[in-house]
Amino acid sequence: MTTFADIADALAGQAIELPSWAFGNSGTRFKVFATPGTPRTVQEKIADAAKVHELTGLAPTVALHIPWDTVDDYGALRAHAEDHGVRLGTINSNTFQDDAYKFGSLTHVDETIRRKAVEHHFACIDVMDATGSRDLKIWLADGTNYAGQGDLRGRQDRLAESLARIYDRLSGDQRMVLEYKFFEPAFYHTDVPDWGTSYAQVSALGERAMVCLDTGHHAPGTNIEFIVMQLLRLGKLGSFDFNSRYYADDDLIVGSADPFQLFRILYEVIRGGGFGPGSDVAFMLDQCHNVEDKVPGQIRSVLNVQEMTARALLVDRDALSKAQADGDVLGANGILMDAFYTDVRPDLAAWRESRGLPADPMHAYATSGYQRRIETDRVGGQQAGWGA
């Protein structure tokens, strides 16, 4: 049997990147509710992210989104982050908000617009050079709303060409991670709708092109841990965007909708070598705190990943292999469930304290005065959101 002591070291290496945009306002097409204390600048977003890391030890890096987080001096931003105890991470491109992209970006039938979109990615790579970021993440919103609106095949071919131009611009150990998404904002077809498409596209590029798996971007009923297994097996799992969903791309707090699914995903990550020192798989959050407070929402999220990682590490893999080999269905399932149902929270609290962290980061935040301070200080200006 595996005990908490056995897994403590493995947990120590865990790092979950926070998205800068999680600290801004978000919502649905119907309404974005504003909340007091919301950052007005990328610097304030980084300060909030740093608070999450200070209290949890889990979130050493912050992902940026260009142009939402555009600044004049990325060196200064990098220093700002480091002053707050975090580093800048993945650079996320955006080719879905410029009017030019109404009918596509990297897939657009018009070479002028494709070039614009490609050059936006070049600019993102320039940012990466300045921030020292490893990963360029592309979530491509391209798609169509009506059958016939676009030529599916031509768009896919143009996508391949555009991606190749971007990939060729990468240098050193920079990587491209290509995210797939089942639907939204396009409602008939999406140009990178599934892992197969992302895999086929990145495989054609080269070793430093990988797939990004967003846990909320699948069809109903999809077995996500199977895809995790397959991408690890194929050597193409680049990164995770963690969140959870009941219906569509709900972008809820990771682990909140189906904790057991998160457990199975993390078990498969560990099983397939995607966790720990030898792995290059990046763990990120990609969430929207539409109705809940943002900083504690992020704290809750990284804790959920940590707690579930602990449970997944507790699985007695030798016993499991034996039960599987014996065709002992109930026994094998029981071994997994035993780990899932283990309450790791007390051990984790003690472990945190032993490492100089608050035992209960949620409580520590609530009593830190930080929320009151940002609500008081951040008055005036334009609160950050998806469009700003």
Contacts with its own copies in 123-142 (CB under 8 A)?
141
Q: Is the Cβ of residue 247 or residue 278 nearer to its own copies in the bound state?
A: 247
Binding to its own copies by residue 337, rule CB under 8 A? yes
Stretch that binds its own copies, among 48-56, 76-84, 96-104, 117-125 (CB under 8 A): 96-104
The answer to whether 205 and 163 have CB atoms below 8 angstroms apart is yes
The answer to whether 192 and 201 have CB atoms below 8 angstroms apart is yes
The answer to whether 91 and 127 have CB atoms below 8 angstroms apart is yes
CB within 8 Å of 294: residues ≥ 6 apart: 22, 23, 24, 35, 38, 48
The answer to whether 160 and 106 have CB atoms below 8 angstroms apart is no
Tally Cβ neighbours within 10 Å of residue 247.
8
Question: Whole-number minimum distance, CB 132 to its own copies, in Å?
Answer: 29
Out of 39, 60, 193, 238, the only residue in the binding site for its own copies (CB under 8 A) is: 193
Out of 43, 182, 364, 378, the only residue in the binding site for its own copies (CB under 8 A) is: 182
Distance CA(293)–CA(303), nearest Å, equals: 15
Strands 61-65 and 135-139: unpaired
Binding to its own copies by residue 360, rule CB under 8 A? no
Binding mask 284-303 for its own copies (x = CB under 8 A): ------xxxx--xx--x---
Out of 71, 96, 174, 349, the only residue in the binding site for its own copies (CB under 8 A) is: 96
Contacts to its own copies from residues 148-167, by CB under 8 A: 148-153, 156-157
Question: Whole-number minimum distance, CB 257 to its own copies, in Å?
Answer: 7
Contacts to its own copies from residues 199-228, by CB under 8 A: 199-200, 218-223, 225-227
Out of 2, 43, 165, 188, the only residue in the binding site for its own copies (CB under 8 A) is: 188
Contacts to its own copies from residues 42-81, by CB under 8 A: none
Q: Is the Cβ of residue 41 or residue 203 nearer to its own copies in the bound state?
A: 203
For the stretch 283-312, what's the b/e string if a residue is b when 16 or more beta carbons lie within 10 angstroms of its beta carbon?
A: bbbbbbbbeebbbbbbbbbbbbbbbbbbbb
Q: Which helix (H) or strand (E) holds 340?
A: helix 329-341
Binding to its own copies by residue 364, rule CB under 8 A? no
Distance CA(385)–CA(388), nearest Å, equals: 5
| Helix extents (H) in 13-170 | 42-56, 74-83, 111-131, 152-169
Amino acid at 256: S
Question: Whole-number minimum distance, CB 355 to its own copies, in Å?
Answer: 22
Distance CA(17)–CA(10), nearest Å, equals: 17
Question: Whole-number minimum distance, CB 263 to its own copies, in Å?
Answer: 9
Closest CA to 51 of 294, 275, 246: 294
Tally Cβ neighbours within 10 Å of residue 349.
15
Does the CA dihedral 19-58-73-92 come out positive or negative? negative
Stretch that binds its own copies, among 41-49, 76-84, 118-126, 316-324 (CB under 8 A): 316-324
Out of 46, 166, 312, 336, the only residue in the binding site for its own copies (CB under 8 A) is: 336
Out of 70, 333, 367, 376, the only residue in the binding site for its own copies (CB under 8 A) is: 333
Closest CA to 192 of 207, 177, 170: 177
Distance CA(300)–CA(267), nearest Å, equals: 20
Binding mask 227-256 for its own copies (x = CB under 8 A): x-xx-xxx----------xxxx-x-xx--x
Stretch that binds its own copies, among 9-17, 66-74, 130-138, 315-323 (CB under 8 A): 315-323
Out of 36, 75, 132, 196, the only residue in the binding site for its own copies (CB under 8 A) is: 196
Binding to its own copies by residue 4, rule CB under 8 A? no
Question: Whole-number minimum distance, CB 44 to its own copies, in Å?
Answer: 21
